[in-house]
Copies of this chain bind each other. A is one copy, B any other.
Amino acid sequence: MIKYPNKKKLSTTTLIKQSASRRGMSLENDLNSTNQYYLDHEIAVIHKKPTPLTIVDVAYPSRNKAKIVEAYFKTPSTTDYNGVYNGLSIDFEAKEISSKTSFPFSFLHDHQIKHLRMVHKQKACAFLIIRFTYYDETFLIPCSKLFDFMDNNERKSLPYTWVKEEGYLIKQGIYPPLDYLKIIDII
């Protein structure tokens, strides 16, 4: 490591600036921006799925414009993100959590866990991305490890210590903000 004693003050400022600029950046923003980076650089094609809605009523205020005037949110039956990366089918769910100690499984819908099990069986690369906002740490947890934990434990949550041990910390950067495919390359 190269040290720049003369630039110490500058580096600190920069660090503070970066940290401040990251404040309020949600996991979803980071992922969308990362996926856009992957798209622009032809690294992968990964999209967030639109929120599933039940449309009840549509009005046509003008000839070409349909306006939805009554719709409700549906429980998602799949994960939020999927796509393809160099022949690999990618499928994951991402969650942010303020807890310091664990990630409760209640944050995932039963349908989503079932979906992850099924795509895993179909040999997709399936995983969770969990951000512990208290530590500003974001981990990738392969589904094989997640299911192994779920199937051999009574616990209804993943302890932070387990995540730190078994998950992969995703390095946070400027652009892309969350280069999670680097982890996929490793595992």
Q: A121 in the interface, Cβ–Cβ < 8 Å? A: yes
Please pick, from B42, B67, B69, B91, the residue contacting A121 in the complex, using a CB distance under 8 A: B42
Give the docked Cα–Cα distance between A84 and B80 (Å): 15
Determine if B77 and A66 form an interchain contact, defined as CB atoms under 8 angstroms apart: no
Residues of B within 8 A of A84 (CB): 89, 91, 119, 122-124
A48 to chain B, nearest CB (A): 10
Complex Cα gap A72–B118 (Å): 33
The answer to whether B53 and A50 have CB atoms under 8 Å apart is: yes
Within 8 A of B (CB), among A74-113: 74, 77-78, 82-91
- The answer to whether the Cβ of A70 comes within 8 Å of any Cβ in the partner chain is yes
Instruction: Say yes or no: is A164 at the interface (Cβ < 8 Å to chain B).
Output: no
A88 to B125, CA, bound (A): 11
Contact check, A122 vs B44: say whether CB atoms are below 8 A apart: yes
Residues of B contacting A85 in the complex (Cβ-Cβ under 8 angstroms): 122
Whole-angstrom distance from the CB of A37 to the nearest CB of chain B?
Answer: 14
Decide: A118 and B73 in contact? CB cutoff 8 A. no
Q: Name the interface residues of A50-66: CB closer than 8 Å to any CB of B.
A: 50-53, 55, 65-66
Closest 4 CB pairs of A and B: A87-B123, A89-B89, A84-B89, A68-B71
List 19 interface pairs A-B (beta carbons < 8 Å), by A numbering.
Answer: A44-B122, A45-B118, A45-B124, A47-B78, A50-B53, A51-B53, A66-B72, A67-B70, A69-B69, A82-B82, A84-B89, A84-B123, A85-B122, A86-B123, A87-B122, A87-B123, A87-B124, A88-B89, A89-B89
- A interface residues, Cβ below 8 angstroms from B: 39, 42, 44-45, 47, 49-53, 55, 65-74, 77-78, 82-91, 115, 118-119, 121-124
A53-B68, A69-B69, A89-B89 given; 20 more Cβ-contact pairs under 8 Å: A45-B115, A45-B118, A45-B122, A50-B51, A51-B53, A51-B55, A65-B72, A66-B72, A66-B73, A67-B71, A68-B73, A69-B70, A82-B82, A84-B89, A84-B91, A84-B119, A84-B122, A85-B122, A86-B123, A87-B124
